[in-house]
Structure 1
Amino acid sequence: MNDIRRTILWVIFGFSMVLLWDKWQIHTGNKATFFPGPAATAPAETKPATPAAAATAALPAASSGVAAVPGAAAPAAPRERVKILSDVFQLTFDTEGASLVGVDLLKYVDLKDKSRHFTLMAETPEQVYVAQTGLLGGSFPTHKTAMTLMPGPRELKDGDNELVVRFESGDLGGVKLIKSFTLRRGAYDIGVRHEVVNTGTAPVSPQLYLQLVRDGNKQDGDVPFSSTFTGPAVYTDAQKYQKAEFKDIDKGKVDIEKQASNGFVAMVQHYFASAWLLGDGIQRELFMRKVSENLYSVGMITPLNTLAPGERQTIDARLYAGPEEEKKLEALTPGLELVKDYGWLTILAKPLYWLLDQLHSYIGNWGWSIVALVVLLKAAFYWLNAKAYSSMARMKAINPKITEMRERLKDKPQQMQQEMMRIYREEKVNPMGGCLPILIQIPVFIALYSVLSSSVEMSNAPWIGWITDLSVKDPYYILPLVMTGTTLLQTWLNPTPPDPMQAKMMWIMPLVFSVMFFQFPAGLVLYWITNNILSIAQQWVINRRLGVN
């Protein structure tokens, strides 16, 4: 019976390794080795996207009660791209609609090219990711309307805490739109004020839309074997956090809350996010939709008051564009921290992150904080692990007796099983006693894996010596080699299966598993090494206490 259980466990483990290898092959751009899918057809060549290409269709259709975007008025000034610099941003605005078409995060480096800053938003042949606003309800200024950059500084100077950038449209449909972007020192949320002026002779009832438009491409630099989410999301108090895969938008399977007076819309990816935030109590219509081939939008529409001739109304919003740092996101608006997606083990991952963050506040180094966190977890599971290792030690102690019995009764399988169970009863050994305590801990360690692979704090964070970035693989493969060594030592401490084939698999599978760690981020490998070393220490002590070599 023990052999059957052990064989089943090895089969499950081996099949998991096969699936992980296939996923790694696909992740690195190769064909799957074991389970190749249908041959993919080459995508049609697309032209570089322009603001106009991400425009009209990016808003809800008229069937949802919203008028289509009208044609823009003739430009009053040459269209240009304007660079604005703060201590954390280099922003690029397009004077067509005063749209934000470029966001470089100056405190973060590119996930692949460390010589460049990280680019969150851009409008290039390789990437389309922009933030747009405008007015609906008439021939009013939209994100396709030519706007004029008002005179003023374009860089946050030393000693200044705030920089305001203003754009102004001409009269269009009896309405003038003034957009003011306020950048604050150290802040990743940008204040965006829309001032709507009725310059005509009749009342107007415009609606303001705020939207994020991006392509459906996965970002570079995802953690291997980590299913990080990329796509749009919305949040309301009633329905909480709702996200949608791009493929679900393609199939029309998105079902989100359409009307609310609170919440936000966001575009989410690994480590970073953008979001439009409106104050509570402001009625809004939420939408997600496909704009064109491989282009998607998420946004909100809010009605303004009816403006009599000469009247004006101001509505304030905020645009967040930055890292998924939980404490900063929580401080901005309820639910925004959920853009840092831990997946199905969020209930365990959030307290683990909180504990890791508390440790970092005392230690000041994320690498040593990971080590300290694993030490605390091992201490919490000490007695559970002790039972598992004691069971393994007793199994190892009776292995010679089991081996002799198997050899003696190899031609009598039924009697062999009966004799094996008798030995287990007499020696008070539970063959599965070493598995159950470990299985109980698996969700905790998967949740910790999710925390480490999702936390932007690991990006560009040094540990010691050659480990200058915990979010990327060890450049010299020293940690993976140590990981392999500790895994083999731990395997040696475990009881050897009596069956020769299982005994070989017991050594081969950890080696195969260790090879995968050569591509894992250093922070994750450090976590596994620390866990291995502590497990080895505890298991060695228990083996010595029970007199098992």
Structure 2
Amino acid sequence: METRKLILIIILSTSLLLLWESWQKEIQPPAQVTPGVVSGDGNNQRHDPLPVPGDELAGASQSDVAAGIEGVAPSITPNLFEIGEKIQVTTDLVVAEIDTAGGDIRKLGLLEHPSREDETKPYELLLDQAARFQISQSGLIGDGLPSHKTKYTLDSNKYHYELGPGEDSVSVRLLAPEVDGIQVAKIYTFHRGTYVIDVAFEIVNHSDSTIMPFSYFQMFRDAKEPAGQGFLVHSHTGPALYTEEEKFLKVKFSNLDKNKAEYPTNADNGWIAMLEHYFLTAWLPEQGSPREYFIKRLAHNQYTAGVIVPVGAVEPGQTKTIDMPFYAGPQEQNKLAELSPGLDLTVDYGWLTVLAKPLFWLLSFYHSYVDNWGIAIILLTLTVKLLFFPLSAAGYRSMAKLRVVTPKLQRIREQYASDRQRMHQAMMEFYKQEKINPLGGCLPILVQIPVFIALFWTLLAAVELRYAPLALWITDMSVPDPYYVLPLMMGISMYIQSKLSPKPTDPIQARIMQIMPIAFSIFFFFFPAGLVLYSLCNNILSILQQWQITRMLEKKAEAEDEKKSKGKGKLSGKNASSTEAEEVEEAEDKRETKQLTHSDAAKKEESDIEDAEVIETREEAPKEVKTSPAPEKPKPKQSARGKGKGRKGKRR
């Protein structure tokens, strides 16, 4: 009873924790950003100094390079960002907003991915609000060169750009103030059919001296996680980078707060990104060129991650351009690998990536034919189930055998209840006698667990399921079922499956088996509908397979019992026939014995008569003549029955 209470308390506490977390997300106000320290005049100060290349990349001391940017002071503003003129760019995939203050991309909405708050609006991956912000910044490092603090002007008076029919790209050109004969233009180029934006700096040297600038490209954001993250469904939010030497590496904001973040800085390959569930932003430098990565905490709830790339020498009268691709879009696994090596690793499958990738490929293959991600999930689950059918069959066959012999096991437990060692020995002997492996039902299932976990994470990380409908009320398989129909069906399927499994002889285990369907149903209330659909389909297929195998074994057992019963009947018939024969033989023996008894009596009577006659003859003979009696001829032996007849004839 105490164990049952403990189990119920644990389940109730977990359920309350999940409900509390969900309720807090609904009612809590947006987190307020603390942009930094407060200056003397009461205005908030944003801590965003320019990045400085290290000695290895610069070929000089940091103080020498930093000397060129000492005149740029941090901006002081009552808002988080300086506000300039807004330039809107619309393509077939994105709608972006560029601010002339810093020449940053302040907003970027994904037209094919609706917002959770308002489905009529695109999801804003880049945003410059205090409640949630992430922006793209870039600039040059060098004396008098423009940075993300520079006020740019438009090369034209056009404030709205749209990718028209038949156009493959559209460009926005911003001009920085000319300083000491150095003219710089910042150029954004948006392309059709891709989320990659080319960011370029065009440097024209009208001075009399050679300059050697550096360029930097960074993401600046807060640590707030996107909507939908929770205790059961969680993915990495924060910086990540990739190099061929160190491979894929994620950096936690908490480690940056503690100054414990470790990551490679100098390389000639790789990329750097900011990740969140389903989406990412990333700078993709050209492979083979030197670069320096940096990830920093600027202030409370302010983080930056980027890359510094040398521009090289710009001689007097020379024009030089440096270009950097910027990706801002969904984590589409099939397309990311084509952009840069290792970029597809941002789709976070954890340590089961090796298994998850082929599963997603198969899921996409089915979707290309049925054009419904829900049906594709069902087909994928069916395929995985068929692949593991032999293993599952072996496991369920062993479980079915255990289910048949459970009453016998229970009797063994009751018989040796006071001696656990003797009970264990008796059970092992029983398993050996019945040719049952007690672990046979577990091992085949354990082999399948990594595959099912990989499939779980595949569905969890797939942005393709975001706002992907199944049918009827399920219009988005990346969020929980709004009416909890699938979780309830999942609980029912688990209950049915528990009934098909061997009934535990241990009362504590039996209680756990009764409570598990309820507990798991509560967990599945908070799972995305796509995950619940997969689990439900897997359970239904498992129930059908387990029922079929159990029924087959039960029929086989019934046939064997019937065969044994018939064998016992034949044996009983044989015993009855032999008994009758024995009775007949015994009767004959008795009759013969009786006849023999009568013959013996007659034989004795005949012998007595003959003796009497001999005596009488001796008395009549003369006393003086002594004659010897003639010797008697031996009489032939007769059967008792023959002797009797002779004697009877003589009497007549």
User: What is the TM-score of this pair, normalised by structure 1?
Assistant: 0.89
SS of residue in 2 equivalent to 1:519:
coil
Unaligned runs of 5+ in 1: 1-6, 32-42
- Tell me the residue number matched to 1:484: 491
Partner amino acid for 1:416?
M
- Tell me the residue number matched to 1:35: none
SS of residue in 1 equivalent to 2:510:
helix
2:408 is the counterpart of 1:401: yes
Q: For residue 16 of structure 1, report the CA deviation from its aligned partner.
A: 10
- Tell me the residue number matched to 1:357: 364
**More moved, 413-422 vs 120-129:** 413-422
- Tell me the residue number matched to 1:111: 116
Deviations 1:361-392 (A, max 9, x none): 22221111111111111111111111110111
Q: Structure 1 pair 48/263, CA: closer, same or farther in 2 (3 Å)?
A: same
- Tell me the residue number matched to 2:49: 56
Alignment partner of 1:89 out of 86, 94, 98? 94
- Tell me the residue number matched to 2:72: 71
SS of residue in 1 equivalent to 2:421:
helix
2:306 is the counterpart of 1:304: no
- Tell me the residue number matched to 1:369: 376
- Tell me the residue number matched to 2:148: 143
Between 1 and 2, higher relative CO (CA 8 Å, sep ≥ 6) is seen in 1
2:248 is the counterpart of 1:246: no
Deviations 1:28-51 (A, max 9, x none): 3769xxxxxxxxxxx997259999
Q: For residue 216 of structure 1, report the CA deviation from its aligned partner.
A: 1.4
2:518 is the counterpart of 1:511: yes
Q: For residue 89 of structure 1, report the CA deviation from its aligned partner.
A: 1.1
2:19 is the counterpart of 1:28: no
- Tell me the residue number matched to 1:255: 262
Deviations 1:436-494 (A, max 9, x none): 11111111111111100001000011111211111011112111111111111111100
SS of residue in 1 equivalent to 2:284:
strand
For the Cα contact (< 8 Å) 1:56–1:69, is it kept in 2?
no
After TM superposition, the structure 1 = structure 2 runs for residues 6-405 of structure 1, keeping only pairs within 5 Å, are 24=18, 27-28=21-22, 46-47=34-35, 53=46, 55-56=48-49, 66-67=65-66, 68=69, 70-71=71-72, 79-151=84-156, 152=158, 153-222=160-229, 225-405=232-412
> Considering only CA atoms, is the larger Rg found in Structure 1 or Structure 2?
2
Q: For residue 295 of structure 1, report the CA deviation from its aligned partner.
A: 1.1
- Measured on the aligned residues, the alpha-carbon RMSD in Å equals 3.1
Q: For residue 281 of structure 1, report the CA deviation from its aligned partner.
A: 2.8
Q: What CA distance in whole angstroms lies between the structure 1 residues aligned with 2:119 and 2:254?
A: 32
For the Cα contact (< 8 Å) 1:214–1:295, is it kept in 2?
yes
For the Cα contact (< 8 Å) 1:60–1:289, is it kept in 2?
no
Q: What CA distance in whole angstroms lies between the structure 2 residues aligned with 1:215 and 1:478?
A: 37
Alignment partner of 1:528 out of 514, 530, 535? 535
Partner amino acid for 1:537?
L
SS of residue in 2 equivalent to 1:157:
coil
Partner amino acid for 1:28?
S
**More moved, 116-125 vs 13-22:** 13-22
Q: Structure 1 pair 476/174, CA: closer, same or farther in 2 (3 Å)?
A: same
Q: What CA distance in whole angstroms lies between the structure 2 residues aligned with 1:305 and 1:313?
A: 9
Q: For residue 54 of structure 1, report the CA deviation from its aligned partner.
A: 5.7
For the Cα contact (< 8 Å) 1:72–1:142, is it kept in 2?
no
SS of residue in 1 equivalent to 2:274:
strand
SS of residue in 2 equivalent to 1:300:
strand
SS of residue in 1 equivalent to 2:287:
coil
Deviations 1:258-282 (A, max 9, x none): 2222221111111000111122232
SS of residue in 2 equivalent to 1:463:
coil
- Tell me the residue number matched to 1:39: none
- Tell me the residue number matched to 1:428: 435
Deviations 1:146-173 (A, max 9, x none): 0012224522223432211111111135
SS of residue in 1 equivalent to 2:554:
coil
Q: For residue 291 of structure 1, report the CA deviation from its aligned partner.
A: 1.3
Q: How many residues align?
A: 528
For the Cα contact (< 8 Å) 1:326–1:337, is it kept in 2?
yes
SS of residue in 2 equivalent to 1:28:
helix
SS of residue in 1 equivalent to 2:525:
helix
Q: What CA distance in whole angstroms lies between the structure 2 residues aligned with 1:47 and 1:238?
A: 36
**More moved, 388-397 vs 20-29:** 20-29
Q: What CA distance in whole angstroms lies between the structure 2 residues aligned with 1:347 and 1:78?
A: 46
For the Cα contact (< 8 Å) 2:53–2:308, is it kept in 1?
no
For the Cα contact (< 8 Å) 1:88–1:107, is it kept in 2?
yes
Q: What CA distance in whole angstroms lies between the structure 1 residues aligned with 2:468 and 2:352?
A: 25
User: What is the TM-score of this pair, normalised by structure 2?
Assistant: 0.75
For the Cα contact (< 8 Å) 1:111–1:221, is it kept in 2?
no
For the Cα contact (< 8 Å) 2:492–2:517, is it kept in 1?
no
Q: What CA distance in whole angstroms lies between the structure 1 residues aligned with 2:484 and 2:323?
A: 50
For the Cα contact (< 8 Å) 1:223–1:453, is it kept in 2?
no
Q: Structure 1 pair 265/78, CA: closer, same or farther in 2 (3 Å)?
A: closer
Q: What CA distance in whole angstroms lies between the structure 1 residues aligned with 2:254 and 2:83?
A: 38
SS of residue in 1 equivalent to 2:178:
coil
SS of residue in 1 equivalent to 2:167:
coil
Partner amino acid for 2:413?
R
SS of residue in 1 equivalent to 2:170:
strand
Q: Structure 1 pair 197/513, CA: closer, same or farther in 2 (3 Å)?
A: same
SS of residue in 1 equivalent to 2:367:
helix
For the Cα contact (< 8 Å) 2:36–2:45, is it kept in 1?
no
**More moved, 451-460 vs 242-251:** 242-251
Deviations 1:310-335 (A, max 9, x none): 22201111110000001211121111
For the Cα contact (< 8 Å) 2:90–2:96, is it kept in 1?
yes
Q: What CA distance in whole angstroms lies between the structure 1 residues aligned with 2:204 and 2:142?
A: 14
**More moved, 460-469 vs 57-66:** 57-66
Q: What CA distance in whole angstroms lies between the structure 2 residues aligned with 1:537 and 1:203?
A: 78
Deviations 1:476-533 (A, max 9, x none): 2111111111111111100001122321211112321122111211100010011001
Q: What CA distance in whole angstroms lies between the structure 1 residues aligned with 2:165 and 2:388?
A: 51
Q: What CA distance in whole angstroms lies between the structure 2 residues aligned with 1:359 and 1:297?
A: 40
After TM superposition, the structure 1 = structure 2 runs for residues 409-424 of structure 1, keeping only pairs within 5 Å, are 409-424=416-431
Q: What CA distance in whole angstroms lies between the structure 1 residues aligned with 2:74 and 2:400?
A: 81
Deviations 1:123-160 (A, max 9, x none): 11111211111111222110100001222452222343
Q: For residue 19 of structure 1, report the CA deviation from its aligned partner.
A: 9.9
Q: What CA distance in whole angstroms lies between the structure 1 residues aligned with 2:229 and 2:255?
A: 21
Q: What CA distance in whole angstroms lies between the structure 1 residues aligned with 2:378 and 2:10?
A: 27
SS of residue in 2 equivalent to 1:457:
helix
SS of residue in 2 equivalent to 1:249:
helix
**More moved, 164-173 vs 109-118:** 109-118
After TM superposition, the structure 1 = structure 2 runs for residues 450-461 of structure 1, keeping only pairs within 5 Å, are 450-461=457-468
**More moved, 217-226 vs 183-192:** 217-226
Q: What CA distance in whole angstroms lies between the structure 2 residues aligned with 1:78 and 1:444?
A: 51
Q: For residue 26 of structure 1, report the CA deviation from its aligned partner.
A: 7.6
SS of residue in 2 equivalent to 1:122:
strand
Q: What CA distance in whole angstroms lies between the structure 2 residues aligned with 1:445 and 1:15?
A: 29
**More moved, 403-412 vs 450-459:** 403-412
